[in-house]
A and B are shown apart, each in its own frame.
Chain A
Amino acid sequence: MSPRPTTGHVRRPAILKAAAEVIAERGVIGTRIADVAERAGTSAPGVLYWFDTKDELLTEALRFSDEQFYAQLHRELEQLDGPRERLARIVELWPAEGDGEVVLWMELWVRALRDPAVNAARAALDARWRAAIAEVVRDGQAAGEFSAVDPEEFALTLGALMDGFAIQLALRDPGVTPAQVRAHCLALVEERLGLEGVGR
């Protein structure tokens, strides 16, 4: 290990935030370590001190932005009254996260096709997302508000539906609008969990 560079004071979170931005803009292939360093206000050695490869930067940047997402989600869900409002909020938050996030997921999928370490990181991030959804479903079932479906299966289906529509939104498919996507996702929530008027 090389001695800590003088730019080492630029901390990991700042580099990860910069990496998420730059990779979302230019892609893993189009991103140079120097670009991330510049955005984070450090040097290339300052980045390489923490991360060995661009793939590592990508997976760590997604993990980092996921942490922020879950922290925000947790804060928001705490303020809501019940499980049905929480589930509606989850549906609202996902496509509203912006293109940058969806593009990072697409980068991750493409890298995961050919890199087992990236693929394992992807599976772990996805499992966490499904667990977050399943937890709200269990709360709703415990409160007697939701039907007795398998929470994991429901979470998997909702996650797949959201991703499928997020892809079409990111591609600016003229036939798909954010409002339609939200309606489709809420319809799945209502029909599988035996609810009416969720998110209205």
Chain B
Amino acid sequence: MTVERTARERILDAAMDRIASDGIDAVRIARIAMDARVSTALVHYHFATREALLAEALEHSFETAGDVREEAGDDPVARLKGMIEQCLPLPGELERDWVLWVELWLRAVRHPELRPTAAKLYASMRTWFIAAIEEGGFGDVDAGAIADRTLALIDGFGVRALLGDPEVPLERARAEVWHALAGDLGLRDRVPSV
């Protein structure tokens, strides 16, 4: 059982890397199997379809990132800023996750069986932001509406930053999302100067 779980995790890690580099449509299952040092048959055994592989890989990545998410400091503002940081396509694993995230959007529109995965991931993020807002003692604010808006801005700015939009470097995405959130929370924030 332990051995099997390890193989499964190796497949998911390999899938994240390969899907990010080749795309969900072009990725070859045999290549993922090779990277994970398992047989192609074992990949098919664990994941019947490409959609299942993408969904599980994203959920796996989200769960493994959970340790970072729990590192909440005492300062509510620093905590929220850190959360925005964790949600943007920073170079490295977050950038890789973001590529899969963009692949998921399109794939889930075309394959409704992926929509529950997308909805689940969005719901987790929403709960996470609502908790930080409510626990932050920002007074009488609509935490749900603020979380919705923050997540929409993160996606809108994040996809532009990921694609290297000349007007949206990462630091601008970060500053703009925080600027909006600070306004929602009734905090004074200087206008981002980028």
Contacts and interface: CB of A to CB of B under 8 A. Distances in A.
B128 to A, nearest CB: 14
A106 B108 CA distance: 11
A113 B106 contact: no
A109 interface: yes
Interface string B102-139: 11011011101001001100110010000000000000
Given A29-B25, A161-B152, A171-B109, A110 B102 contact: yes
B156 A160 contact: yes
Given A160-B156, A184-B152, A171 B108 contact: yes
Interface string A101-133: 011001101101110000100110011001000
Nearest to A113: B99
Give the dominant DSSP class at B's interface: helix
A173 interface: yes
- Which among B102, B109, B157, B164 has the greatest number of chain A C-beta atoms within 10 A? B109
Contacts of B155: 160, 163-164, 167-168
Interface stretch (B41-49, B52-60, B62-70, B143-151): B143-151
Contact of B106 (A110, A119, A127): A110
A172 interface: yes
B97 interface: no
A103 B149 contact: no
A60 B56 CA distance: 35
Nearest to A99: B109
Given A106-B106, A106-B109, A184-B149, A157 B176 contact: yes
Contacts of B115: 171-172
A126 to B, nearest CB: 7
B92 interface: no
Nearest to B106: A106
A160 B106 contact: no
Given A175-B126, A184-B148, A113 B102 contact: yes
Contact of B176 (A160, A175, A180): A160
Interface string A158-200: 0111111101101111111000100010001001000000000
Given A103-B109, A113-B163, A167-B155, A176 B176 contact: no
Contacts of B112: 172
Nearest to B102: A109
A150 B192 CA distance: 11
B91 interface: no
B159 A110 contact: no
A129 B115 CA distance: 28
B166 interface: yes
B189 interface: no
A110 B108 CA distance: 13
A156 interface: yes
A164 B106 contact: no
B104 to A, nearest CB: 9
11 contacts: A106-B109, A113-B102, A126-B165, A150-B191, A157-B180, A160-B156, A161-B156, A164-B151, A168-B155, A173-B122, A184-B149
Q: Which 4 A-B pairs have the closest CB atoms?
A: A160-B156, A164-B152, A164-B156, A164-B155
Given A29-B25, A188-B149, 15 more contacts: A109-B102, A114-B23, A119-B164, A153-B192, A156-B176, A159-B156, A160-B176, A162-B156, A164-B156, A168-B122, A171-B118, A172-B112, A173-B119, A174-B119, A191-B183
